[in-house]
Structure 1
Amino acid sequence: MMERIVDGGRFIFDGCNTVKLAEKYGTPLYVMSENIIRSRCREVRGDFIDKYENVRAVYAGKAFLTMTMCKIIESEGLGLDVVSGGELYTAVKAGFPMENVIFHGNNKTPEELQLGVNHNVGRFVIDNLYELELLQAIAKESDKKVKVLFRVSPGVQGKTHKYISTGQKDSKFGISLDMEIITDAVKKAMDYSHIELKGFHFHLGSQLFENHIYVTGIQTIVQLMKYMQEEIGFSAEELNVGGGFGIYYTEADQPKALAFFVDTIMATAKAACSEAGLKLPQVIIEPGRWIVGEAGITLYTVGVVKEIPGIRTYVGVDGGMPDNPRPALYDAKYEAIVANKADQPLEQTVTIAGKCCESGDILIWDLQVPKIEPGDLLAVLHTGAYNYSMASNYNRIPKPAVVLVSDGKAGVIVERENYEDLLRQERIPQYLMKEEQESIEKCAITVL
């Protein structure tokens, strides 16, 4: 849970007065704490990378990715997991070492695969046989041999929202653990001239607070590894167990230290491999939300305060669904502070409403706040993951800026969009321009 520091009634975030940040950079505003991000990365190093032999940790970029984030992750000694050509291109432009990049995605396009091959990404995580065949053809044409993992669905489902559960048997991700299907895939990979199969990957879901499902997932995949070694002679060198470690959003969440997950993961992998007579492969984890989720806040300016007597008080803010679609997508919950009245007693219950033309554009239901008025500053907490990365221009609303803060210093890492940015890629077809001109000429003739 984020430490709430108050100075002179103002909410302070990583040494920065949030009221002054809003005054300088405007709202809505994403604010990311460099210190919190680095602290989480160092916990990954201390409790996993430095603690165990032959392990790797890669940051799941889909949670939050900018060129600046790439630089931070690189400096902290973590690898990077990307899931699209755009995320990969961001890493390329940031100068991130490609050998430390893992390229995921359940339906990578030929263009994305070609981009990955061209830039020599460290691993492709193959989701299906079609992708395997496509990558073989692209790698062969490029005269390169690429290293891959197979993503498999272990048939394990954790306690989380169905939209962020990924390890169950009925999932759009990965190759089924039907032994005929997966054996065929492994044989093809072993036969392909430009593919080097290194092992297996699974991911059980996101925002998980239990570790026993990792036990089940690992035991399942180790049995697969044993079968592949005994039946077709394939020895897995790598086992990627994904991420999904939960964080704090509200009091309903009970987050655990990283060691709660990784100690169980490593103990299970060692025991299962020993029992199966296998050499322990390199174990890889992919924390994303766990690294950045609690490192971010979003600042909003309060507009209308609309009281419906005896029912509810709605507080409108200058953002909402476009900068944070998670409440509308899967009923995500948040806590918030009135940042300019952070030391005042809580005396009202209000609902924070976004500005979109959608009844579902509600950021927080029934929030306890001080006496709230137009012009107040609201800080929604723990918005570092999947807010900026999911942001849209719905209702033609420009995306907010992103500011990185550290020990009282602040700098823009993503500029705020303006209305001109919304139109930058638009074009009007020539035939419509011609029709408009003809209409104008006809009007002129009629007038004459």
Structure 2
Amino acid sequence: MHSPGAGVTAIVPSWLQAPADVNELLPQLWSRTVGRDADGVLTVGGLSAAEIAATHGTPVFVLDEEDFRARAVAYRDAFADAFADLCDGADVYYAGKSFLATGVARWIAEDGLHLDTCSSGEFTLGLRGGVRPDWIALHGNNKSRGEIRAALQAGLGRIVVDSLEEIEVVASIARELGVVAPVMLRVTVGVEAHTHSYIATAHEDQKFGLSLAGGQAELAVARVVGHPELQLRGLHSHIGSQIFDMGAFEVSARRLLGLHHGVQREHGVELPEIDLGGGFGMAYTSEHQPLGPAEIAGRLAEIVARECLSQGIAVPKVSVEPGRSISGPSTFTLYEVGTTKDVALDGGARRRYVSVDGGMSDNIRTALYDADYSATLASRASTAPGVLSRVVGKHCESGDVVVKDEFLPADAAAGDLLAVPGTGAYCRSMASNYNQLPRPGVVSVRDGASRVLVRRETPEDLLALDAG
């Protein structure tokens, strides 16, 4: 298929349909307060993209506070309701690695969610934002002794142990501090989730967890039970990210609960908890059809109830860890267009390149995971036909692609604003200073007002780290 308009043709991916109106916004890709004003300018939280750019500059991550908090509360309530009769409700841990700032941690605390962290930096932000220490979990396959010590001193509610060696390290530090460390064991359940290989985390050949098939998980249980300094809170599994198929969770839950039952049978210990992880998918393009929190919670409750009944065990307390599906759709990145060019391809086709003032330093996911994104002209409406375009950044790298394929107006030009939705997860969190570009700031908007959550870096910030 070829794109229409302006004499420019290029091969179109099978899932991407040429829009009848290039100004149309697909609701599933945008946060709930996004729309267009009478002049066709993109708006969010009562502010226009032009106002945001004038106040905060570009590129900038624009976070819809109302949307973020509504998604978080929807997960909280859905899991509380679905598991109410099974285990007095399930706990929702927001996965801070997707995006975390003090302001976000404050929302999480105010809205009654727990927090999942992967470093001392993340749990320090959580504590600073007012999250209860005993509602914070610490993950990681290579936690430092300093991080483990700080977590125990802060009173974190769980340390998710990832290896046999780490059991001994946590026990020794707990003994030194005179405390009992609450731990969970991360179990590699051998499930091949249908996602990118870099973000599939429950198959055997990868760095995370204690292998169930290889016997490491059972050995870890015996070692933890033998340490008076450790309290085994339960078992944990995380099968990957950007998952739409609930079948993988069913297999994971069955295997995790089988081990849970085995611990009770072999050691006489009834573990109070299991954690089924996160990885629930979100819509980056029209190709994706994610499940909502209520459907996810209901399906997982059915799975857990059925597996516990079949094994004749009581339902333990359940927790999950959504991150991307909360933070991702709540944010878009606002860029300014610099240049455009048409490039000849094999077979006589052509592609338009639209260059923006950011790139792989603020969104590495396209280069790293071959991820797809959407985009729209944000500063005005256009009556021009749509042409298949590739949105690229300003870095000295041919792989510096933000949006591989999107229909953008043929008259998109320098000075226009472009918005890329779905960038709230793993974009600012994974941002870099490649080519010595300062990282963009994060601005939250609500009720016609904006405030800075994370300020934009400056060249002076970069120079302050340079010891030369």
The TM-score range, normalised by the shorter chain, is over 0.9
> How has the CA–CA distance of structure 1 residues 343 and 11 changed in structure 2, closer, same or farther, with 3 Å as cutoff?
farther
Distance 1:380 1:344 in 2: 20
Letter in 2 for 1:396: Q
The equivalent of 1:69 in structure 2 is: 104
Distance 2:174 2:139 in 1: 17
Measure how far apart 1:93 and its partner are: 2.4
> How has the CA–CA distance of structure 1 residues 190 and 372 changed in structure 2, closer, same or farther, with 3 Å as cutoff?
same
Is structure 2 residue 342 aligned with structure 1 residue 312? no
Distance 2:217 2:253 in 1: 17
For residues 284-339 of structure 1, the C-alpha deviation after alignment (integer angstroms, 9 at most, x for no partner) is 01000011110000001100112335632211110000000000001111111110
Distance 1:281 1:12 in 2: 45
Letter in 2 for 1:348: V
Residues 98, 121 of structure 1: 8 Å contact kept: yes
Distance 2:213 2:388 in 1: 52
Measure how far apart 1:343 and its partner are: 5.2
Letter in 1 for 2:61: Y
Is structure 2 residue 68 aligned with structure 1 residue 37? yes
Measure how far apart 1:180 and its partner are: 3.8
5 Å-filtered alignment, 1:1-80, equals 1=28, 2=30, 4-7=34-37, 8-51=39-82, 52=84, 53-80=88-115
Distance 1:170 1:270 in 2: 30
Residues 171, 229 of structure 2: 8 Å contact kept: yes
Residues 317, 354 of structure 1: 8 Å contact kept: yes
5 Å-filtered alignment, 1:20-419, equals 20-51=51-82, 52=84, 53-178=88-213, 180-308=215-343, 311-342=350-381, 344-370=383-409, 371-419=411-459
Distance 2:72 2:322 in 1: 9
Residues 149, 198 of structure 1: 8 Å contact kept: yes
Residues 76, 91 of structure 2: 8 Å contact kept: no
Residues 6, 343 of structure 1: 8 Å contact kept: no
Local SS of the residue matching 2:465:
coil
For residues 188-212 of structure 1, the C-alpha deviation after alignment (integer angstroms, 9 at most, x for no partner) is 1111121100110000111111111
Measure how far apart 1:412 and its partner are: 0.7
Residues 153, 171 of structure 1: 8 Å contact kept: no
Distance 1:179 1:312 in 2: 50
Letter in 2 for 1:16: L
Measure how far apart 1:152 and its partner are: 0.2
Distance 1:70 1:341 in 2: 34
Measure how far apart 1:341 and its partner are: 2.2
Local SS of the residue matching 1:40:
helix
For residues 240-292 of structure 1, the C-alpha deviation after alignment (integer angstroms, 9 at most, x for no partner) is 00011111110111111122222121111122112212111000010000111
- Count the aligned residue pairs: 428
In the alignment, structure 2 segments of 5+ residues that lack a partner are 1-27
Distance 2:40 2:186 in 1: 50
Residues 347, 369 of structure 1: 8 Å contact kept: yes
Distance 2:272 2:214 in 1: 20
Distance 1:117 1:223 in 2: 30
Greater shift, 407-416 or 305-314, is seen at 305-314
Distance 2:385 2:266 in 1: 66
For residues 128-148 of structure 1, the C-alpha deviation after alignment (integer angstroms, 9 at most, x for no partner) is 111111011111111111111
Measure how far apart 1:90 and its partner are: 1.3
Residues 211, 260 of structure 1: 8 Å contact kept: no
Distance 1:365 1:45 in 2: 35
What is the CA RMSD across the aligned residues, in angstroms? Answer: 1.4
Distance 2:318 2:110 in 1: 21
TM score, norm. by length of structure 1: 0.93
> How has the CA–CA distance of structure 1 residues 149 and 58 changed in structure 2, closer, same or farther, with 3 Å as cutoff?
same
Residues 366, 372 of structure 2: 8 Å contact kept: yes
In the alignment, structure 1 segments of 5+ residues that lack a partner are 429-448
TM score, norm. by length of structure 2: 0.89
Measure how far apart 1:350 and its partner are: 2.0
Indicate the structure with greater helix content.
1
Residues 79, 89 of structure 2: 8 Å contact kept: no
Is structure 2 residue 456 aligned with structure 1 residue 425? no
Measure how far apart 1:345 and its partner are: 4.4
For residues 24-46 of structure 1, the C-alpha deviation after alignment (integer angstroms, 9 at most, x for no partner) is 10000001011111111221132
Local SS of the residue matching 2:141:
coil
Distance 1:207 1:409 in 2: 32
Distance 2:184 2:314 in 1: 17
Letter in 2 for 1:196: Q
Residues 57, 285 of structure 1: 8 Å contact kept: yes
Residues 212, 218 of structure 2: 8 Å contact kept: no
Residues 114, 135 of structure 2: 8 Å contact kept: yes
